[in-house]
Amino acid sequence: MPVRRWGKRLREEERLLRRKRRNPLNERIHARLRRTEGYKFDITIDEWPKGKITMDEPEPLGKSEGPNASMMLCSAVGHCLSASLMFCMEKSRASLKDLTTDVEARLVRNERGRWRIEGIKVKMNPVVDETNKEKFERCKGMFEDFCIATASVRQGIKIDVEVGGEPAEKE
């Protein structure tokens, strides 16, 4: 009997390892931003070793040499929803012929005059074969629940901010 339990435990551990290898996020994401000039930052992400992303603020603050944080948030919500719908369809052994997603964020000033994202509107335009319509309807009712970014933004994400300070070296 101990051999069977050990075998079962070993199979469970192997299954967990395979799941972790398939999921590059592994329940944590670490990004490092390094200022290059002005308001422009190069961003590297540990879980994505293929390079860097450049972000910048629009003119007149920055030079518009990359998207800003609001643009990236808007894109993240749209991408996550699109990928979740595609994943649901693939799991249902169906496919989309095409998918276009438009995302629009509404920016408004709050009572203190600061810009805030009031809401995000997502319009998805999937093209589905007639043979996959039933599976598509099923996925339409559930795919949003599997989108990490959208669900997190909807519920509000707790953000802890710590500001350390290293004194600048005197020249």
* Nearest of 103, 89, 91, 105 to residue 137 by alpha carbon: 89
> What CATH number did the domain enclosing 78 receive?
3.30.300.20
Stated pTM of the model:
0.77
Query: Residue 6 — pLDDT band, cuts 50, 70, 90?
Result: low
Q: 58 and 126: one domain? A: no
- The per-residue pLDDT for 119 is 93
Based on the number of CB atoms within 10 Å of its own CB, is 115 exposed (0-12), middle (13-18) or buried (19 or more)?
exposed
The residue-averaged pLDDT of 73-93 equals 95
- The per-residue pLDDT for 109 is 96
Which of 66, 92, 117 represents a domain boundary (last residue)? Answer: 66
Domain extent at residue 58: 25-66
Q: What is the mean pLDDT of the chain?
A: 87
Query: Residue 132 — pLDDT band, cuts 50, 70, 90?
Result: very high
How many Å separate Cα 76 from the centre of its chain?
5
Tokens 């398939």 sit on residue: 22
pLDDT exceeds 80 at position 82: yes
pLDDT exceeds 70 at position 168: no
Which of 11, 43, 66 represents a domain boundary (last residue)? Answer: 66
**How confident is the model over 10-62, as pLDDT tens digits?**
667 776 666 555 555 568 889 999 999 999 999 999 888 888 999 999 999 99
What backbone phi and psi angles, to 5 degrees, belong to 53?
-115, 140
Encode 32-55: b = buried (16+ Cβ within 10 Å), e = exposed.
eeeeeeebbbebeeeeeeeeeeeb
Q: 44 and 32: one domain? A: yes
Does residue 48 sit within a domain? yes
**How confident is the model over 92-114, as pLDDT tens digits?**
999 899 999 999 999 999 999 99
Q: 79 and 97: one domain? A: yes
